[in-house]
Structure 1
Amino acid sequence: MTSIAILGANGRLGRAVGKAFIQAGYHVRGITRSGKLPADLAGATGIAANALDREALVRATAGVDIIFHGLSPVYSDWSSVLPMAENVVAACEANGAILLFPGTIYNYGSPLPEIITEDTPFNPTTEKGRIRVALETMLRTEADAGRLRTILLRAGDFFGGTGTGSWFDLGMASKIQKGVYTAAGPADIVHEWAYLPDLAATFVELADRQDQLGYYETFHFPGHAITDLQMKAAMERAVGQKLAMSSLPWWVFKIGAPFMPMWKAMLQMAYLRFQPHRLASNRLEDVIGSIPHTPLDRAVAEALTDLGIPVASLAAQKEAA
């Protein structure tokens, strides 16, 4: 049985990916600081390790075939991103494991290309973007040297799955039970979203085909490239009522940014909410065939249900799927 270690198994992405690999019949090892795993990863083996402790991480991942990097630092402090990645690379190389890595759109900077493919050149214009480019450069260098195999899947903003902390729950759906939809930018701007169960299923599809892939492979995940108007309409259908439209008060963030690190970090990346963009792939479908894609209405209804928000149409969405 093929084995995979999920780093960051308590996080939103790690949980979704771990669950998908369990369902696909892999032996899953969840790596967390405490070794404890959430209930939705029943069937996985929990191992305690701190990703900033290289020797501990190498030991915790010993014997696995694949390592998934689902570690995510506090959004306002990315000083640990590269050190953690270096330790993950060391663990992969020490154990001969393939690295599965989730990429971001941060690499492309501002202004964003409206259509971003695997061939679109990087142009980082923020600290987070420069860190992500440096990280991917390191992975590519290790692959070119024959020391590490990496499969990178780049995606947009997350929604769905267990957990909180995305624009979907912190912004759009934050006041939905009061009858309000909150747009983070112009309502008619196309924004790239990744429904986590679909993204997780795509990682499984790529892992299943690892023998067909080279030492360094990059794919883009075309999820739901939609406007706030389309997202709002899907939420309205899910909850069975019309929602008022409100806008995120970015001026408040500008005032508070010098005093609040999280607001400063959000403000630096605000361009993502004001510039239209979508991910496209020249390669993914050729490798895995049909790309996992839950219809928008069903995905939104399930994502709201995951947040504990009453939904009127979930049963109908499942029947229609």
Structure 2
Amino acid sequence: MQVILGANGVVGRELARRLPGFTDHVRQVARTPSRVNETDELVTADLLDAAATADAVKGADVAYLLAGLKYDARVWADQWPRVMRNAIDACARHGCALVFFDNVYAYGRVDGPMTESTPYNPCSKKGEVRARIATMLMDEVAKGTLRAMIVRAADFYGPGATLSLTHATVTERLKAGRTPQWVGDARAVHTFTYTPDAAESVARLGNRPDAYGQVWHALTSKDAMTGEQYVRIACELAGRPYGLQVAPRWMLRLMGVFVPVLRENMEMMYQFEHDYRFDSTKAAQALGLAATPYREGIAATLAPR
């Protein structure tokens, strides 16, 4: 049996579709869980509750931590360490392996490609939290109290990825007949992980005993994509003339006074003002798979749902 802690997000749904290839028992755990597969078991639990988390993990061989918390640095600092501690304790108690699906915030600004050996050097409050909980997890692995791994992804794009930057700034605007937007420097390289590739990576790695005790980068295209190139491809596929509006930092700061998510994103602007290169060679070689090309992924993202 395998359990998804923090189910129902875009990667969680994609992961759930793949797990029946590895197990005949998938348990979805969330505050309001829903079925992806007809045979899914649903468990209602708050991952901030240690007892509820332990009960949710009981009987599982592998647990995938895909929780999403409110995008607020104070909330993250308070709740992420508690969620991670509860997941670690629950899995250790029940002899369950743990796969943590993470982002790249802990690395901070990196000159050159981000790899699994890139040191943690966060330059944001959210990055500090991510570095703390990732270290917490791998310290348990080093002590031998837990079998676990971290699978990281770059920023998302893909079908149903409604919380991604490109959904609001490109996909939805093109569907509405409006000009796409971007933030930061549209000519800077910015790698994106296709959500089905992220889920495929998590599912396959989580079911490989030799993958544990390590950090992995989810399958991601090697192409040096820029915001401008992403928008050009999207416009072409949508049958729209190319156009791009770039919001300057001062405008985003002003808008952030009224839109909390924009205010919270200001500390992450370094990711869009400088090259952001994410390397997944390790996973590609281990799994013998290639990431979805951007053109194919953008076409699927734009397709009617």
| TM-score, structure 1 as length reference | 0.86
* Separation of aligned partners in 2, 1:259 and 1:179: 22
Match of 1:245 in 2: 244
What secondary structure is seen at the aligned counterpart in 1 of 2:67?
coil
Is the Cα–Cα contact under 8 Å of residues 221 and 284 in structure 1 kept in the other structure? yes
8 A contact 2:138–2:149 mirrored in 1: no
SS in 2 for 1:276: coil
What CA distance in whole angstroms lies between the structure 2 residues aligned with 1:48 and 1:304? Answer: 33
Aligned AA (1:37): S
* % same residue: 27
**Aligned residue pairs: how many?**
299
Preserved CA contact (<8 Å) 2:197 2:218: no
Scaled by the length of structure 2, the TM-score of the pair is 0.91
CA deviation after TM superposition for structure 1 residue 256, in Å: 4.5
The C-alpha deviation readout for 1:208-261, integer Å capped at 9, x for no partner, is 322x234x2111235134111221122123212223111134323312445654
Look up the match of 1:9.
Answer: 7
The 10-residue stretch of structure 1 (224-233 or 279-288) with the greater mean CA deviation from structure 2: 279-288
Q: Which amino acid aligns with 2:54?
A: V
Aligned counterparts of 1:25 and 1:139: Cα–Cα separation in 2: 25
| CA deviation vs aligned residue, 1:15-60 (integer Å, no higher than 9, x gap) | 12112213555521100113x305x443311111110111011111
5+ unaligned residues in a row in structure 1: which ranges?
A: 309-321
The Cα shift of 1:273 comes to 0.8
User: Could you tell me whether the CA contact under 8 Å between 2:159 and 2:302 is conserved in 1?
Assistant: no
SS across alignment from 1:244 = coil
Shift of 1:95: 1.4
Give the letter for the 1:108 counterpart.
Y
Tell me the SS of whatever aligns to 1:173: helix
Distance 1:259 1:184 in 2: 17
Instruction: Report deviation, 1:157.
Output: 0.6
Residues 26 and 195 of structure 1: is their aligned pair in 2 closer, same or farther, counting only changes over 3 Å? Answer: farther
In the superposition, relative to structure 1, how do residues 166 and 90 fare at CA in structure 2: closer, same or farther (>3 Å)?
A: same
Which of 157, 160, 170 aligns to 2:155? It is: 157
**Residue among 145, 152, 168 paired with 1:147:** 145
Which whole-Å CA distance do the structure 1 matches of 2:198 and 2:171 have between them? Answer: 21
1: CA distance between counterparts of 2:181 and 2:257? Answer: 24
After superposition, where does 1:204-243 map in structure 2 within 5 Å?
204-210=203-209, 212-214=210-212, 216-224=213-221, 225-243=224-242
Query: CA shift at 1:108, angstroms?
Result: 1.6
CA contact (8 A) 2:198 2:219 kept: no
CA distance in 2, matches of 1:25, 1:125: 40
Secondary structure of the 2:162 match is coil
Q: Using the alignment, how far apart are the partners of 2:137 and 2:286 within structure 1?
A: 21
Which residues of 2 match residues 69-108 of structure 1 at below 5 A?
69-76=65-72, 77-78=75-76, 79-108=78-107
Secondary structure, aligned partner of 2:214: strand
Name the structure 2 match of 1:299: 297
2:201 and 2:219 in contact (8 A); partners too? no
Distance (Å, rounded) in 1 between the aligned partners of 2:138 and 2:191: 25
> How far does residue 204 in structure 1 lie from its aligned partner after superposition?
1.7
Structure 1 residue aligned with 2:52: 56
RMSD over equivalenced CA pairs, Å: 2.0
Distance of 1:149 and 1:139 partners within structure 2: 10
